[in-house]
Structure 1
Amino acid sequence: MEAIPLSYLFIALGVLVLLSGYFSGSETSMMALNRYRLRHLAESRHRGAMRAQQLLERPDRLIGIILLGNNLVNIFAASLATVIGLRLFGEAGIAIASLGLTVIILIFGEVAPKTVAALYPERFAFPSSFILKPLLRLFYPAVWVLNAIANGLLRILGFNMEEQSDSPLSREELRTVVREAGNLIPKRHQKMLLSILDLENFTVNDIMVPRAEVTGIDLEDDIDEIYDMLNHCRHTRIPVFRGDLDNTVGILHVRRLLRSLIEHEEVTRETLEASVSEPYFVPEDTPLHTQMVNFQRSRQRIGLVVDEYGVVLGLVTLEDMLEEIVGEFTTDMQSFNRDIHPQDDGSYLIDGTASIRDINRQLRWHLPTKGPRTLNGLILEYLESIPEPGTSLKIGDYAFEITATTESAVKTAKLRYYPQKKSGNT
């Protein structure tokens, strides 16, 4: 060592510090890689990603080769710094070299490279994998011995080394991933993905058309009324029943009778009854994601929601379910606007039969959705009686004024949102 010039020793020490930084950064970048993105890149045949994925299949070996290299480099650097310190400062150089090398290693061998590696894991890890893999092969015997001893101690302590740490994402975690995707996923697509995840939280009762609003053909009506219904019907499929929905005969595809209507051929009750398909019934409280699969398996697009006694509660369609994912369709937006009427003073005149979830979605409000599903039901639940027109109440941040009622329900109400007030319900 005495014959080696100090300049060479400083160069060698600098190289060792850089190698220390490389090993430290490699460890951080490998552990910071997004496993799902890594898997995607590997499946796309990205060479760096494929090598990194192979190394991460056995993290104990990866960490073993990195720590082996890092410790060897740091030990050699400490020895070299001691020699330099002795030659420059004598016995006091040992302490000076130790202190100086500690600061240098912390800055250039630990903090700086690990920070860069944590911020840009792919840029650091993928090139590093081209070096780490050959190193692992070269020093495999030493790494194997180190891992055997370390893994043996961990097994004694009760750790299972065969367990997979890469557990699948839960739904809540997946929601967080979608929300934090930023510009990688368009906002509209984010809403659609989140809506798919939310399907399990809702049932057919939440989106069905209530029984009182179901449009259908009563075979007991006068034939002229049936003709008028067919001529002005806005729906492609409608139920056909006798007396009421509990006696549904089937579902009529209106287009099947279109030619007869155009050619003014006679359409009789018998013709209607012969043209219907078997009704499809859906048990109440069926989760939306389950019913969507049921519709697909049975090749149905419309179903009557029934309770445990077979009483028809309403009607649900595949289109209703798709709207939960992609949002309101244009044709239905026109229908929905007939239930919500903006007023000049900033309030909204809303029909009592309007769905609370539809109101929230249309106006971006947060009316309570636990319990009643319609505006009329929400008001009656809070008042526990049929209110008189002019009655006012407040639910959360929303002021209600009853404008019209019938003997059994609230027909219309005027609502206004007061976000600045956080008082309770009155």
Structure 2
Amino acid sequence: MGDTIDGSSNAALSARPEGQKEKKGGWIARLFSKSAEMPATSNGVRADVTPTPQSHGMINLRRMRVEDVAVPKADIVAVPNTISEAELLQVFRDSGLTRLPVYDGTLDTPIGFVHLKDFALRHGFNGDAGSLEIDQMLRPLLFVPPSMAIGVLLAKMQSERRHMALVIDEYGGVDGLATIEDLIEQVIGEIEDEHDAEEVDFWVQERPGSYLALSKTPLEDFEAAIGRSLTHYADIDREEIDTLGGLVFVLCGHVPARGEVVELPDGMSFEVVDADPRRIKRLRVLLPADAANG
């Protein structure tokens, strides 16, 4: 998904003006070169340091791959090239995004992306300046393989002045989307902003017995909402767990991968909808059939 109007998690950082370009390869190139600097042992041989899953830093520029940080295909907000002016305006408003991939037929046939600024300059924010000609507003997309190191992608984004990239699988289909902020967060940590601080909808009910929840959802609040305790499935110290993500981490004993499902004896399950090697981001909680029907 492109970047957000308010700078949320899919936002791309503003492009540097031409007169302010870094010299000698740019700041990303310098970061990438520094990521190779490893501590040396007493005999002068460089030590092999493996970061923990929760760590961040410049070493991730070489260690992590695009597939580790990309937004999954199911979560990409994109529009068809047949979309109407009113519909496109509504997608911008509802999503809060400023960049939207555009596809022909299906998302596996992307043809570019449309920028909110281009739309506003042509049609105004009320979308009342003539019929939509989205083909004339398309900007080129950057396509990358999932195995590319994030440091390489950062350097590529800087040199080509691109803010987001589509991840393409071995069959040429779209597998995910990565933005500059997604990559930089692996170096400097989570980038919080006003939108993140004000987010209060920790979960939504998709249908009876199915909830889509953020990892940071307060465990006590969620238990109260569904009317059942979630900490009796294992030897868990309630004082050490505050969130749904923390509960699933304890149940797994590791940071689960995207798509991993934790099934419990009574029929309840947790599906990891979004995660990276450092943390769980979103979960789908499925209640047992009797609880869902009740």
Matched, 1:253 2:137: no
Distance 1:172 1:202, change over 3 A: same
Say whether 1:368 aligns with 2:260.
no
**What 5-or-longer segments of structure 2 have no aligned partner?**
1-41, 204-213, 224-237, 272-282, 288-294
Aligned mates of 2:143, 2:65 — CA distance in 1: 14
Question: Which residue of structure 2 lines up, in the alignment, with residue 298 of structure 1?
Answer: 160
Aligned-pair CA distance for 1:239: 0.6
The CA deviation at 1:367 is: 5.2
| Cα-to-partner distance string for 1:150-174 (whole Å, 9 max, x where unaligned) | xxxxxxxxxxxxxxx974644529x
Structure 1 residues 364, 235: closer, same or farther in 2, change over 3 A? farther
Q: 1:262 aligns with which of 97, 106, 125?
A: 125
Q: What's the RMSD between the two structures over aligned residues?
A: 3.9
CA shift at 1:402, angstroms? 4.8
Structure 1 residues 300 and 252, CA gap change in structure 2 (3 angstroms): same
Name the CA shift for 1:235/1:366 in 2 (closer, same or farther; >3 Å).
farther
TM-score, normalised with respect to structure 2: 0.55
Aligned partners of 1:268 and 1:171: how far apart in 2?
Answer: 59
Correspondence for 1:412: 285
Contact 2:86 2:127 in 1 (8 A): no
Cα pair 2:114 2:139 within 8 Å, conserved: yes
Amino acid at match of 2:188: V
Bigger Cα displacement from structure 2, 224-233 vs 306-315: 224-233
User: Counterpart in 2 of 1:150?
Assistant: none
Q: Mind listing any 5+ residue stretches in structure 1 that lack a counterpart?
A: 1-164, 176-190, 351-358, 393-400, 404-409, 415-426
Counterpart code for 1:172: V
Which digits, 9 at most, give the CA deviation of each residue in 1:27-62, with x for residues without a partner?
A: xxxxxxxxxxxxxxxxxxxxxxxxxxxxxxxxxxxx
Letter in 1 for 2:94: H
Aligned to 2:219: 343
Task: Output the TM-score relative to the length of structure 1.
Answer: 0.40
224 and 294 in structure 1: CA distance in 2 versus 1, 3 angstrom threshold: same
Q: Secondary structure at the match of 2:103?
A: strand
The 1-side partners of 2:185 and 2:250 are apart by 16
Residue 185 of structure 2 is aligned to residue 319 of structure 1: no
Structure number with higher relative contact order (C-alpha < 8 Å, ≥ 6 residues apart): 2
More helix by share: 1
Contact 1:171 1:197 in 2 (8 A): no
Decide whether the 8 Å contact of 1:250 with 1:276 is kept in 2: yes
Amino acid at match of 2:49: E
- Partner AA of 2:128 in structure 1: E
* CA displacement 1:42-85 (0-9 Å, x = unmatched): xxxxxxxxxxxxxxxxxxxxxxxxxxxxxxxxxxxxxxxxxxxx
Change (3 A) 1:278 1:264: closer
Q: What count of residue pairs does the alignment treat as equivalent?
A: 200
- SS of the equivalent of 2:175 reads strand
Distance 1:220 1:349 in 2: 42
Q: How do residues 187-206 of structure 1 correspond to structure 2 at under 5 angstroms? A: 194-206=56-68
Q: Does the 8 Å contact 1:391/1:402 carry over to 2? A: no
Q: Write out per-residue CA displacement over residues 315-351 of structure 1, whole angstroms, 9 at most, x where no aligned residue.
A: 001110111122222247456955232132666775x
* Displacement after TM superposition at 1:223 (Å): 4.2
